[in-house]
């Protein structure tokens, strides 16, 4: 029995990928070994990692002047690694501040020898908005502009890619990567923890333009130095092999499902269905500005907050799990990443309707 799992991450994964992993968990490719048991430097795993990278490049349309790195430590470790790699000591960076994840990126950057200029801050709306596309000015001398395309806690998402001129654009795509087509060439660096749309936690993907590689500050640890990792095909040290393998299976599922165009259409349809149900309900409410609503994370509030826990537990009993809002904001939240089918969203709406009818 599988459930519809609305967890914000680690999150629901495509069943086809999990079933393939299960089928070969003790005997991968007829080797008599699990993929977890083979040397990362052996031919079989090197080929697996290369195929995974090739498929990621194909699906995302990664230009040839970008490196794809398979790292560890999550996006949180990148909050420190990015300034080390992309900015000289004493440099300035620009940041768009849209919620709890951008706040963490700002805090980590400020621990380094760096000036962090927050050129847009959505505090006035309680971080329920994204800045207007022409609502900030990027300092042309900044080392880079950092932003968070989607805030998983606030459920706030940019409807556009910020224009940064010649300043490299850096994006934490942990919660949106692979959810729709993107133009990678607009970015200097894209990074993403795997545990939403790409696989298990413990793998972090970095896509970085060649001219930004090789500038790490002295003392940057090898596993966090993009040049050292690029030169070693992400095998300066032992990579998280099971995560890379499972990413490959998930990418194959994305491709079979029609690639990122189809994925984007599905995700748009799922989000529209859920927001329409919320907006037309008298019981539920989504707090985010219309033009900044996330396709991936949909927070909502019930008219009777004292029933939120009941909602979450009754939903779980009905096979709709992990619907509690983030512990810092409460309420409910439905995360509807790639692996969530529209049937799951419809089942949630049916439950929400019934719950509202019973409790309004």
Q: Which residues bind its own copies (CB under 8 A)?
A: 1-3, 5, 7-13, 15, 18-19, 21-22, 25-27, 30-34, 36-42, 72-77, 79-81, 108, 111-113, 193, 195, 199-203, 218-219, 221-224, 236-243, 246, 319, 321-322, 327
Residue 171 sits at φ, ψ, to 5 deg, of -130, 130
Output the six-digit token pair for 326.
């983030």
The nearer residue to its own copies, 166 or 317, going by C-beta atoms, is: 317
The nearer residue to its own copies, 327 or 357, going by C-beta atoms, is: 327
Q: Is the dihedral of CA 246, 100, 207, 227 positive or negative?
A: negative
Q: How far is the CB of 27 from its own copies (least distance, A)?
A: 7
Catalytic residue among 28, 101, 253, 295: 101
Do 204 and 75 meet the contact criterion of CB atoms below 8 Å apart?
yes
Q: How far is the CB of 208 from its own copies (least distance, A)?
A: 18
Q: Is the dihedral of CA 31, 232, 243, 57 positive or negative?
A: negative
Q: How far apart are CA 285 and CA 59, in angstroms?
A: 35
Do 158 and 293 meet the contact criterion of CB atoms below 8 Å apart?
no
211 tagged catalytic: no
Q: How far apart are CA 202 and CA 225, in angstroms?
A: 18
Residues whose CB falls within 8 Å of the CB of residue 251, separated by 6 or more in sequence, listed in order: 52, 55, 56, 59, 178
Would you say how long the chain is, in residues?
360
Matching residue, tokens 């992400």: 234
Q: How far is the CB of 5 from its own copies (least distance, A)?
A: 5
The nearer residue to its own copies, 134 or 317, going by C-beta atoms, is: 317
Peptide bond before residue 10 is cis, with ω within 30 degrees of 0: yes
Q: How far is the CB of 1 from its own copies (least distance, A)?
A: 5
172 tagged catalytic: yes
User: Which residues make beta-bridge pairs with 151?
Assistant: 156
Q: Is the dihedral of CA 226, 230, 231, 236 positive or negative?
A: positive
The nearer residue to its own copies, 70 or 355, going by C-beta atoms, is: 70
Do 230 and 69 meet the contact criterion of CB atoms below 8 Å apart?
yes
The nearer residue to its own copies, 46 or 161, going by C-beta atoms, is: 46
User: How many CA atoms are closer than 13 Å to the CA of 105, on its beta-carbon side?
Assistant: 30
- Looking only at the bridges linking them, the beta strands covering 115-121 and 92-97 are parallel
Q: How far is the CB of 357 from its own copies (least distance, A)?
A: 26
Angle (CA) 298 300 304, round 5°: 165
Helix axes 241-256, 43-60, angle to 10 degrees: 40
Catalytic residue among 172, 233, 253, 270: 172
Coil, strand or helix: which one is 159?
coil
* Residue 93, H or E segment: strand 92-97
Q: How far is the CB of 250 from its own copies (least distance, A)?
A: 11
The nearer residue to its own copies, 131 or 199, going by C-beta atoms, is: 199
Q: How far is the CB of 8 from its own copies (least distance, A)?
A: 7
The nearer residue to its own copies, 262 or 316, going by C-beta atoms, is: 316
196 tagged catalytic: yes
Catalytic residue among 28, 67, 196, 295: 196
Enzyme catalytic residues: 101, 172, 196
């Amino acid at each position: 029995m599988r459930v519809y799992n609305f967890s914000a991450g680690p999150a629901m994964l495509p069943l086809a990928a999990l079933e393939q992993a299960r089928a070969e968990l003790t005997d991968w490719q007829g080797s008599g070994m699990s993929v977890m048991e083979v040397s990362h430097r052996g031919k079989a795993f090197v080929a697996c990692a290369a195929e995974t990278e090739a498929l990621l490049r194909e699906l995302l349309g990664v230009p040839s002047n970008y490196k794809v790195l398979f790292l560890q430590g999550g996006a949180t470790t990148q909050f420190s690694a990015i300034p080390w790699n992309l900015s000289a000591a004493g440099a300035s960076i620009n940041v768009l501040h849209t919620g709890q994840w951008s706040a963490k990126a700002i805090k980590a950057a400020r621990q380094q020898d760096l000036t962090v200029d927050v050129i847009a801050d959505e505090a006035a709306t309680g971080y329920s908005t994204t800045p207007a596309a022409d609502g900030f000015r990027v300092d042309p001398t900044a080392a880079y502009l950092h932003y968070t395309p989607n805030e998983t806690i606030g459920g706030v998402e940019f409807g556009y890619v910020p224009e940064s001129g010649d300043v490299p654009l850096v994006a934490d795509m942990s919660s949106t990567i692979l959810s729709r087509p993107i133009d990678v060439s607009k970015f200097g660096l894209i990074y993403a923890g795997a545990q939403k749309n790409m696989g298990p936690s413990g793998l972090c993907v970095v896509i970085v333009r060649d001219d930004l590689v090789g500038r790490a500050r002295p003392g940057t640890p090898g596993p966090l130095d993009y040049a050292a990792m690029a030169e070693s095909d992400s095998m300066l040290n032992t990579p998280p092999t099971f995560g890379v393998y499972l990413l490959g299976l998930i990418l194959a599922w994305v491709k079979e499902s029609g690639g990122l165009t189809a994925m984007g259409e599905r995700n748009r349809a799922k989000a529209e269905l859920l927001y329409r149900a919320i907006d037309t309900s008298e019981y539920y409410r989504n707090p985010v500005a219309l033009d900044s609503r996330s396709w991936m994370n949909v927070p909502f509030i019930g008219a009777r907050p004292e029933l939120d826990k009941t909602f979450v537990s009754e939903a779980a009993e009905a096979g709709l799990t992990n619907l509690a809002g983030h512990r810092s904001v409460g309420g409910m939240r439905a995360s509807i990443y790639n692996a969530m089918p529209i049937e799951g969203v419809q089942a949630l709406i049916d439950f929400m309707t019934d719950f509202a009818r019973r409790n309004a």
